[in-house]
Structure 1
């Protein structure tokens, strides 16, 4: 049975960004409900300053969901989605171009280990080096799909949609 998906955009974008919009369409076509919080007000505080307010906003949205939602995030959205999973129940994590830390913040990336997770990253990510998230995935035995792309993963939007559809199918089978 489909559930609910919360899609968190990256910094310097918004809830109508290409990737989160496309992933929302994939989920909705499969019968999942979706929402895309708008973090632009939080992002005005700068990268380090936006982390805590983004997590608080995401916690509110998770608490408002009638069932544990799937969290989807790109870059800063992935970072806060992982951290939010540590404190509230979620059904899954689909994380793109995830930074391992945000400079000048008190936060390092982490996530709840018992949650189905897929990490997707670009080989040429110029913003969030692959080595750091690769090492994180290796230590946790997490699936990591690495694509021949940069931080935006814009050359693989269709592949992201296919992977997300498969991820949601697998979660629905577990339910």
Structure 2
């Protein structure tokens, strides 16, 4: 095993969602172990209400990880991955369609500094403002892949997989 990865899906999605499933399959082919927590029950509490239970579920997965894991998250999954990285050692952060604020939640997005990180965001994302995600990445000098895609990032999955593979190779 090259390492361990926890992949967190977005709201209105599930652990078998297209992006996290594709990235998990790629990671496993490269020799990484993966887990995809199920946040669907928490998501019934609304966006702001889902954060605390999502963090609790992710915290359990972090505690069970055999080594400090790479956290991968899409949208709300990216938001909680960053917050979780503040409380537990992680090997990396791969963030997709990053919201920097969740309406009704008092805390802005934050992530552990000094951790290898990467941002993927679509120019046509109408859910999570591109400028906000880029401002966060810029402030951290975080590498980013900007794609001609919307919030779901479905049209550029091949590009995202290629970048994720390179990210994992750099960590290995």
1:84 aligns to what?
Answer: 84
Q: C-alpha deviations, 1:16-36, integer Å up to 9, x for none? A: 000000000000000100010
Matched, 1:149 2:146: no
Higher alpha-carbon deviation: 10-19 or 131-140: 131-140
Count residues with an aligned counterpart: 172
2:27 aligns to what?
Answer: 27
Aligned CA RMSD, in angstroms, stands at 0.8
Measured after TM superposition, the shift of residue 139 of structure 1 is: 1.4
**Structure 2: 5+ residue stretches without partners:** none
Any runs of at least 4 consecutive aligned residues in structure 1 with deviations exceeding 4 A, and if so which?
Answer: none
Please give the alpha-carbon distance, in whole angstroms, between the structure 2 residues aligned to 1:161 and 1:36.
Answer: 17
Q: What is the TM-score of this pair, normalised by structure 1?
A: 0.96
Measured after TM superposition, the shift of residue 100 of structure 1 is: 0.5
Measured after TM superposition, the shift of residue 140 of structure 1 is: 1.5
Please state whether the residue corresponding to 1:34 is helix, strand or coil. strand
1:64 aligns to what?
Answer: 64
2:167 aligns to what?
Answer: 167
Q: What is the TM-score of this pair, normalised by structure 2?
A: 0.98
